[in-house]
Each structure stands twice: as C-alpha cells, then as structure tokens.
C-alpha cells in the first residue's frame, strides 16, 4: 500500500523531526515520517521539497487535528501560567511574553491543503478522525491516510472514517497521548493489550507503536497481529534527529522507570523524562490549556535548546528508552529489521 520494502515506520516528531532522519529511514526501505505541528502551508511545501531532494523513496507527513475540547479563547489562563514559567524564562535570560497572538496554530485545513499538494505517500494524523472531504482529497492524489488510536473504540472510529491503516499506540510511547474519544487519562492501554484487540476489531492494517525499540519488540508486534511497527524514541536518540545533544543523552541514560506522564509542558498529557522545568511547573499548579501552554513554554524551550539546557526542555521519551542504545539511525533500522519475520 505504501510502496515500502520493510514494515518499519519512523514516528513523526512534532518539533523534533529532521529531513535527514526521514531520508535515512526511507532510503533503508521503511517509511520516514515528518511531524508538521505548527507548520504553515509554505513551510510544509518547503519541507516536502527538502525531503524529496534528500530521497526519492516514499515518506509520510503528519498533521495534528483539532480537538473539540480545545479552548475557544486563546488567552484563557494566561496570567497564572505566565507567572509559573517566569523563573524558567529567567534561567535562559529571556523575557516572559506579555501578550498572546490571535492565532496560536495555523488552520488545519490549510495544512491539509498543503499536504495534499505535496502528495507524500501517506498522511498520518493524530487526535481525531479526518473528515470525509480530507480523506477523499488525499485519496484522489494517491495519498494513503493513516489514523492513530489509543483505544479500540478510536480504531473503529478511524476505520469508519475511511483511513487506510491505524497506528495502535500504547501508553508506553513517547510524547503526547493522542486520545480523542475520551480523556487521555481514561485511555491508557498498554501495547500488549491494545494491539491484538485493535487487530481483531478492524479490517485495515494495524501498525503497532509504544515500547518498541529493538528486534524483540518488532517480533512481538508481529506475533500480536500487527502489519508493521512505528518507532519513535530509538530514532529520536540518534544524531540524525533534531533533538538536542542533552535530550539524546537523557534518553540513552534513562532508567527503566524514568519517564512520567505530564501536562506541564504543553497542556496535554505526554510522556517524557522529568526535569527541572516539569517539576517547577507542576509545583506551581498553574498549567494553561493546550495550545496556550505549549506556546508559553515554547519561548524558554527555544532558548534552552540553543544553550543545550536539558533541564528546561521537553525531554519526550518512551518507556523503552533504556533500549535506545544506538546513535546512528541506520543501525537502529537494521536492529529493528532483524525482528521482521521472514516472508513465506
């Protein structure tokens, strides 16, 4: 369906994707994926051109869909949340924003238009079911549509919406819990339980995600009925990702129980390695709703990335972080490939 040689998909990273990493995975025969969180239409077009200049293999672009629960007023909770992050801005020598932009994110329809125009092999989406118009327009350009589910009910809803494949992502996975039918805290299903139930519930191919970092995870996902795997943390820890050195170092030194679920950095529940920023914001008890919190912390995080201050970054990482031992993406891919069952 995707025109790839091996059933290995690179997890799309919002803000941490790189053209180089997409190209490495696609050139190896997998599906490189690039996260478009916050990207304008022009930036999406530029990114697609850069990927095509780096590889002529299939790749995917990833879009965040808006949740109905997202606040209508962008500035709701701004003052208290701004005071809570003031010490973190001071730590990087920056000033806390005093005003909120009218729009914190580009309209998803404009992003989808740009993706359709770019015509990747696939468009994946999180936080919901794409509309019938979105799906039909993608299909008209020969683009496969991949949805993301954290529960069986979400997988069924995605299939009903016409997606071509479903990523079943267990709570072990790094980054945001992309639940959309119920709250994220009420949708914490592990990969071992989630994947086979989703396989039984839908007819479209299922891609397993969460807790997969080496050949053993790939083999296990196949045994559970998955048609492929999506891997994030193991690739995020490589030098080809856009993660800072302190972020990559934190992943490789994480303990077996070294990740937490928190809303501190973005306003939505996400899994990462706790640090000073998370502890400071949670202790203050003032977290603005998404996307305001994500924008508000983004100011000090951008400065922290330039200074390589891991104590002030969003250190997204999954529960399999201790298994992420390689710093080269091609070696990660080869390790994962060793777990793919031989074709009969």
Looking at the DSSP bridge assignments, the partners of residue 166 are 147, 206
Q: What is the pLDDT of residue 205?
A: 98
In terms of Cα–Cα distance, which of 5, 141, 132 is closest to 61? Answer: 141
Q: Which domains does the chain have, with CATH numbers?
A: 8-337 (3.20.20.70)
Map tokens 């019938």 to a residue: 132
Q: Per-residue pLDDT averaged across 303-332, rounded?
A: 96
Sequence-distant (6+) residues with CB within 8 A of 336 are 8, 212, 214, 215, 217, 218, 229, 231, 234
Instruction: State the chain's mean pLDDT as an integer.
Output: 96
pLDDT band at residue 343, thresholds of 50, 70 and 90?
A: confident
pLDDT band at residue 70, thresholds of 50, 70 and 90?
A: confident
* C-alpha–C-alpha distance, residues 112 and 109, integer Å: 5
Contact at 8 Å (CB) between 221 and 7?
Answer: no
Which pTM value belongs to this model? 0.95
Sequence-distant (6+) residues with CB within 8 A of 102 are 74
Residue 74 pLDDT greater than 70, yes or no: no
Sequence-distant (6+) residues with CB within 8 A of 69 are none
The better pLDDT of the pair 69, 263 is held by 263
Query: pLDDT tens for residues 92-122?
Result: 999 999 989 888 999 999 999 999 999 999 9
Q: What is the pLDDT of residue 69?
A: 74
CB count within 10 Å of CB 98 equals: 8
pLDDT band at residue 73, thresholds of 50, 70 and 90?
A: low
Q: What is the pLDDT of residue 102?
A: 87
Q: What share of the chain is helix, strand, coil (3-state, %, to 5)?
A: 40, 15, 45
Q: What is the pLDDT of residue 344?
A: 63
pLDDT band at residue 226, thresholds of 50, 70 and 90?
A: very high
Q: Per-residue pLDDT averaged across 288-311, rounded?
A: 95
In terms of Cα–Cα distance, which of 196, 202, 125, 193 is closest to 157? Answer: 202
Query: pLDDT tens for residues 139-198?
Result: 999 999 999 999 999 999 999 999 999 999 999 999 999 999 999 999 999 999 999 999
In terms of Cα–Cα distance, which of 278, 242, 237, 238 is closest to 260? Answer: 278
Q: What is the pLDDT of residue 274?
A: 97
Q: What is the pLDDT of residue 72?
A: 62
């Amino acid at each position: 369906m995707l025109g790839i040689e091996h059933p290995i998909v690179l997890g799309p990273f919002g803000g941490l994707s790189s053209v180089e990493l997409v190209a490495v995975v696609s050139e190896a025969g997998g599906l490189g994926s690039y996260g478009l969180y916050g990207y304008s239409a022009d930036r999406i077009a530029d990114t697609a051109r850069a990927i095509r200049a780096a590889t002529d293999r299939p790749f995917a672009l990833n879009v965040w869909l808006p949740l109905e629960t997202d606040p209508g007023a962008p500035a709701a909770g701004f003052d208290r949340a701004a005071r809570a992050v003031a010490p973190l801005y001071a730590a990087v020598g920056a000033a806390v924003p005093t005003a909120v932009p009218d729009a914190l994110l580009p309209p998803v329809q404009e992003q989808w238009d740009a993706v359709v125009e770019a015509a990747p092999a696939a468009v994946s989406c999180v936080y919901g079911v794409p509309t019938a118009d979105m799906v039909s327009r993608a299909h008209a350009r020969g683009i496969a549509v991949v949805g993301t589910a954290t529960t069986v009910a979400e997988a069924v809803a995605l299939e009903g919406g016409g997606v071509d494949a479903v990523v079943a992502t267990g709570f072990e996975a790094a980054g945001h819990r992309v639940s959309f039918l119920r709250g994220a805290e009420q949708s914490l299903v592990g990969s071992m339980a989630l994947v086979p139930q989703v396989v039984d519930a839908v007819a479209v191919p299922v891609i397993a995600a969460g807790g997969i970092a080496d050949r053993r995870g790939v083999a296990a996902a196949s045994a559970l009925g998955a048609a492929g795997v999506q891997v994030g943390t193991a690739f995020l820890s490589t030098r080809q990702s856009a993660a800072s050195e302190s972020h990559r170092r934190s992943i490789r030194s994480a303990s077996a129980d070294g990740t937490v679920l928190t809303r501190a950095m973005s306003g939505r529940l996400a899994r990462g390695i706790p640090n000073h920023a998370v502890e400071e914001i949670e202790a203050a008890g003032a977290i603005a709703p998404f996307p305001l919190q994500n924008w508000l912390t983004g100011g000090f995080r951008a400065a922290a990335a330039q200074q390589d201050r891991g104590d002030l970054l969003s250190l997204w990482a999954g529960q399999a972080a201790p298994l992420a031992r390689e710093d080269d993406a091609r070696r990660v891919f080869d390790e994962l490939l060793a777990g793919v069952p031989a074709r009969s």
